[in-house]
Chains A and B, each alone.
Chain A
Amino acid sequence: MRLTLLNVIVAVVIAIAFAAVNAAYLVWAERRGAARIQRRPGPNINGPFGLLQPPLDGIKLMAKQLTIPGGADRILFIIAPILAMFPAITSFVTIPFSDTIVAKNMNVGVLMIFAFASLGSMSLLIAGFSSRNKYSMMSSVRAVSQAVAYEIPMLITAITVVLITGSPDLMEIVRQQSPSILHWNIFPLLGNSHNILMPFAFLIFFVCTLAETNRAPFDLGEAESELVAGFHTEYGSMGFGLFFMGEYANIVIGSCMTTILFLGGWSCPFGLFPGVWWFILKLYLLIATFIWIRWTFPRTTIYGLLNLSWKILIPLSLANLLLTAGLIKVF
């Protein structure tokens, strides 16, 4: 694909629009889903099924005054919410939604997504530090230790998939899984690797995605019963809005990566009509699981969270990497 100026502008506009629309309407989906699980109606007044709620919320947030607490670090306080949204939108550039719908495929696609995902924890850190609030500070300490703990097993499982494929190119990873459901990396009976532990790798990756996006049961960073609202306690108006949208954009990115690495991307389970619709279907099923998990499981403790990563997930993912390498050598 030739990289003309028009292509770049169109791709960037579509990426931003996709991220923003998803972020806005996933809030609606989350509230409706939560309401359904808790047996109450949820937002249903504005528009059909309450569909006008997200734009109205956005207008309300934009109309509010942006207050900066006294003693806060003004520059960093303003930069932090921008930094929360920026890596997610950048990552959309390289995600292949189908074999033709991709803004700019890179031969180091996996690396690029994880590199920009690692910027996300910086925004929580800066937000917590610049707020001059002890709850925010504790939240950013938690967020950083959590990000360090869960990035390692996540990267190791991603490397396992790269090892199976032999390429960090996201399109190549999907192409090798495309013949049928038996080639998918979640349970690869056919294909390069015959590793029966891959379902566990999928589970590890999914748990790490939950933790990296600060979702319940791992939302220790904004545990409202202990830390008010964590790193965004001092944020009002659209500063809070950006953090909120950034969280949902990160969920979309995490689900996209799970779809691509383990669930065969845009390919169909039976080899029929591969295309963007399969990708979208898998993506939103995963997001629905995210919402379902949030309203089903209680929050863990910080010690439970760190122990889970360092004592269980990292050894398991390393063992899986070794087993996969051995199996690739044998077959």
Chain B
Amino acid sequence: MNPSTLASPGLFTVEGLVGVVFLTMAAITLIGGMIACNSDRLVRSLSGLVICFVGVAGLYFLLNSPFVSMMQILIYVGAITVTISFAIMLAAPEEKRKIGPPSLFSGPLGFIAAALIAGGFATLAVRTEWTVHEKINDGSMKVIGLQLLTDHSMVFELVSVVLLVAILGALVIARQGREQ
């Protein structure tokens, strides 16, 4: 969505309200990300991550894809953050605060990298000719499942290979710990 067309309609038209909802969700995502990166307690970072994921789910919902939005909440909030919280419990159950000065990477270099990525995406978004599609399908589970197992089966299988590699990696690391 182009920001210049976003400001032009009135607030109480459909486009205006969509813009308000979009900006709210984007703001929630960004604020969540900021909390996740800048908090000095791990549990607060985790909560920031949850806020960020909920914001992204809201964006998906706004883009007329309730299935993806619900999967975002179910998998990222329900599974991934819970798994991360396991890691926090195993690593630092006493809720230690961050100590020591920030490293060089978290300061200027990190800012430059973030600015480069953000600038690149912004340029891409502005330069691309966006064609407005009609609604392709209803985005239901059935259509997505059929697409995944017919047209995009290659991608689907490759994703499972990635998962297999992740599981094998976890097993290898766990084995090493056991032998010590």
Give the interface of A toward B (CB within 8 A): 73, 75-76, 79, 106-108, 111-112, 114-119, 121-122, 125-126, 129-130, 132, 137, 141, 144-145, 147-148, 151, 162, 166-168
Contact = CB atoms under 8 A, between A and B. Distances in A.
A148 B74 CA distance: 12
A167 B142 contact: yes
Given A107-B66, A111-B74, A166-B142, A121 B82 contact: yes
A168 B141 contact: yes
18 contacts: A73-B44, A75-B44, A107-B66, A108-B67, A108-B140, A111-B74, A112-B70, A115-B70, A118-B73, A118-B74, A118-B82, A125-B82, A126-B43, A129-B43, A132-B95, A145-B86, A147-B82, A167-B141
Given A76-B47, A122-B82, 14 more contacts: A75-B44, A111-B141, A115-B70, A115-B77, A118-B77, A119-B73, A119-B78, A122-B50, A122-B77, A126-B43, A141-B93, A145-B86, A151-B78, A168-B140
B71 interface: yes
Among B44, B78, B85, the most chain A Cβ lie within 10 Å of the Cβ of B78
A148 B66 contact: no
A109 B81 CA distance: 23
Contacts of A130: 43
Given A115-B73, A141-B89, A76 B44 contact: yes
Interface in B23-81: 41, 43-44, 47, 50, 66-67, 70-71, 73-74, 77-79, 81
Given A73-B41, A122-B81, A114 B74 contact: yes
Nearest to B42: A129
B138 interface: yes
B115 to A, nearest CB: 29
Query: By DSSP majority rule, is chain A's interface helix, strand, loop, or mixed?
Result: helix
Contact of A108 (B43, B66, B81): B66
A312 B157 CA distance: 29
Contacts of A126: 43, 47
A125 B89 CA distance: 10
Given A73-B43, A115-B78, A118-B79, A107 B138 contact: yes
A135 to B, nearest CB: 13
Contacts of A111: 67, 70-71, 74, 141
Contacts of A115: 70-71, 73-74, 77-78
Nearest to A137: B93
A25 B78 CA distance: 29
Contacts of B78: 114-115, 117-119, 121, 151
Nearest to A75: B44
Contact of B86 (A75, A144, A151): A144
Nearest to A121: B82
Among A75, A76, A111, A167, the most chain B Cβ lie within 10 Å of the Cβ of A111
A45 B140 CA distance: 54
A148 B82 CA distance: 8
Contacts of A141: 89, 93
B86 A116 contact: no
A119 B73 CA distance: 8
Contacts of B85: 125, 144
Nearest to A145: B86
A116 B43 contact: no
Nearest to A106: B66
Nearest to B81: A122
Interface string B125-142: 000000000000010111
A187 to B, nearest CB: 26
Given A125-B82, A125-B85, A144-B82, A119 B141 contact: no
Contacts of B86: 144-145, 148
Nearest to B93: A137
Among A79, A129, A132, the most chain B Cβ lie within 10 Å of the Cβ of A129
A185 B93 CA distance: 44
Among A115, A122, A151, A168, the most chain B Cβ lie within 10 Å of the Cβ of A115
